[in-house]
Amino acid sequence: MRVVVQRVSEASVTINNNIVSSIQNGLLVLLGITNDDDKNDIEWLCKKIANLRIFSDHSGVMNQSLLDVNGELLIVSQFTLYAKTKKGNRPSYIEAAKTEVSKPLYEAFISYAGQLLGKEVKTGVFGAQMKVSLTNNGPVTIIIDSKNRE
């Protein structure tokens, strides 16, 4: 699994000119899933995201987590995170998991994240054409890959 985590002061997902999800102060997570992802990837990534110390403390130092600030979480599926651009100019998405694999993992990711946070997790709509708006606070953007745990 691969995620792009963005610390936001606000974020929303719009489909057909209707806002379907929105958050204030929290994290927007773009989630890409590949064929060999499983429950271990979900658990590791969700724990990492919930505990990343990327929110400012009273001294202005990034020392608090999403859990510490009681922030909100918006998760949006994004298969393009597995784009391969080595050959030519048209990206290949061969490494992105097909819907029958990725959708159940996406749903399990959302469920586990909600359990860790003890609150509802907001989402996009799997497979839909979405417009994602955000105000990146910082800016803070972090890329994490569960297969490259550095």
Tell me which of 24, 80, 99, 115 is the catalytic residue.
Answer: 80
Residue 45: which of 95, 139, 110 has the closest Cα? 110
CA–CA dist 94, 92 (Å, integer): 6
Which is catalytic among the residues 6, 34, 78, 123? 78
- Residue 51 CB contacts under 8 Å (≥ 6 apart), including other chains: 65, 66, 67
Give yes or no: 14 in active site: no
The single residue of 6, 55, 79, 109 carrying the catalytic annotation is 79
79 is catalytic: yes
- Does 55 qualify as catalytic in the annotation? no
Q: Which sequence positions are flagged as catalytic?
A: 78-80
